[in-house]
Every structure is written in structure tokens, then in C-alpha cells.
Amino acid sequence: MTRRFHDRYEAGRALAPELARVVRDRDALVLALPRGGVPVAYEVARALDWPLDVMVVRKVGLPGQPELAMGAVASGGARVANEDVLALLKDPHAVFEQVAARELEEVSRRELLYRGDRPKLSVAGRTCVVIDDGVATGATMEAAVLALRSLGAARIVAAAPVAASSARERLQRSADAVVCVSEPTWFQSVGQWYEDFEQTEDAEVERLLSASRHPVGREGTPC
């Protein structure tokens, strides 16, 4: 099926029933990938009455070639290494740890910004639904899935309103389930499947996370 969405909120409302058919755990935890995944995840959490939180993921780039990932770090202090890339280095452990430490500082900064005084993210033994506004390559979502696995999550579902077929296939190798509303044959970018794809600002992320703790009712999105 191929469809375009007006905005991330509509996309989240479309994703919710698809997830309801796959995830039966009434205490599933929705983890949004900020920033774009937060409005989508907010609508899912609200529709299915699941708790909402964020999971910050940062790529650990190779020095001098930052686009080449040695691995990733994420909320909860999780580290995921790309052994194929690390094998190219003379001292892979030291290089990885040096860059990972810097990226973990950024993870902590963003967590403080988005989560404030919320308790430390705890996923051990839980069903976790990781949500982004779209999946083009699957690299960031895969890093989140692997990080959750290392943190002891019981079941991990990767979800997005729209995903490239190749990305879905990639995620099926790491997640327990992959859920999407639209899987276009021709996929150039996530933004092409939205009429309104304005950048999600930090203030909006904070507002939605706050609203998820203090529900405002079922009609419309929070002001």
C-alpha cells in the first residue's frame, strides 16, 4: 500500500491501528526517535493508551570519515559496535571509546533537554515499540533496536508510517516485528510522503512529552 500523509500527527493516527493488530501487550512502551518521530509516537501512545518516552540514538562516526559508522550509542548508555568497520582500525577499542564518549555526552544533553527530571529510561523485560516518522535506510532504527536488545528489552517492534522496502527487510533481521502503513516501491526520501514535513522543533518535543504525562483528551493535538 502507498499513501501520503498530511503531517506526522495524521501519520501517527494511521499507524496506531496497525500496531494494535501486532502488539497485544497492554503495557508496551512507546519510544520515539527525536525529533521527527515524537509527533507520530505521541498519537500512537494516545490512541493505544501506552506510555511514551524518547530514545536518543547517535551514530559513532569514524574519525575523518564521520559518515562511516563504527557503531552507535543510545539512551541508557547502550553501545553498538560495527565490527566490520572496527576491523579496519589499528586500535579499534580506543578509537571507538573516544568517539562514543563524545556522542554519549550529546545523548545525555538531549535526554536532559527532552526528558527533564523523568527517571532513567528502563526497558528491561518490556515490550518496546520504537517509532520514527519514516525509515529510508533503516540504519538509525536498527541502532535503536540493537541498543534496546543490549539493555534487556523483551520484545522490540520497529514502526513507522512509511518505510522503504529495503529498510523494512533490514529491520526484520534485528527487530521482533516491523510495522508500517505504507511501503512505496519508489522511495527517494521520507519527506516526499508528507504534505507538511516541517522540522520538529525541540519545544514541540518537550510539549508532547509533557502532554503525554498529562493527557488533554482525545480530540485534536495539544496546543
- Domain residue spans of the chain: 8-55+123-213, 58-115
- CATH for 58-115 is 3.30.1310.20
pTM of the model: 0.87
Cα separation, 29 vs 19, in Å, equals 12
User: How high is the mean pLDDT of the chain?
Assistant: 90
* Grid cell listed for 132: 520514527
Mean pLDDT within 203-210: 92
Report pLDDT digits (tens) over 34-92: 999 999 999 999 999 999 999 999 989 998 888 788 989 998 888 888 888 899 898 99
Strand stretches in the chain, DSSP E:
29-32, 52-54, 57-62, 65-74, 78-81, 127-131, 155-162, 177-182
Query: Do 58-115 and 8-55+123-213 have the same topology in CATH?
Result: no
Please count the residues of the chain.
Answer: 223
Report pLDDT digits (tens) over 108-146: 999 888 888 888 888 999 999 999 999 998 888 999 999
Instruction: Produce one character per residue of 195-204: b if its CB has 16 or more CB atoms within 10 Å, e if not.
Output: eebeebeeeb
Q: Which fold has domain 8-55+123-213?
A: Rossmann fold (3.40.50)
pLDDT confidence tier of residue 217, bands split at 50, 70 and 90: very low
Give the residue from 186, 216, 127 showing the smallest Cα distance to 2. 186
Report pLDDT digits (tens) over 23-48: 999 889 999 999 999 999 999 999 99
Grid look-up 568497520 returns 85
Cα separation, 46 vs 69, in Å, equals 34
Whether the per-residue pLDDT at 182 is higher than 90: the answer is yes
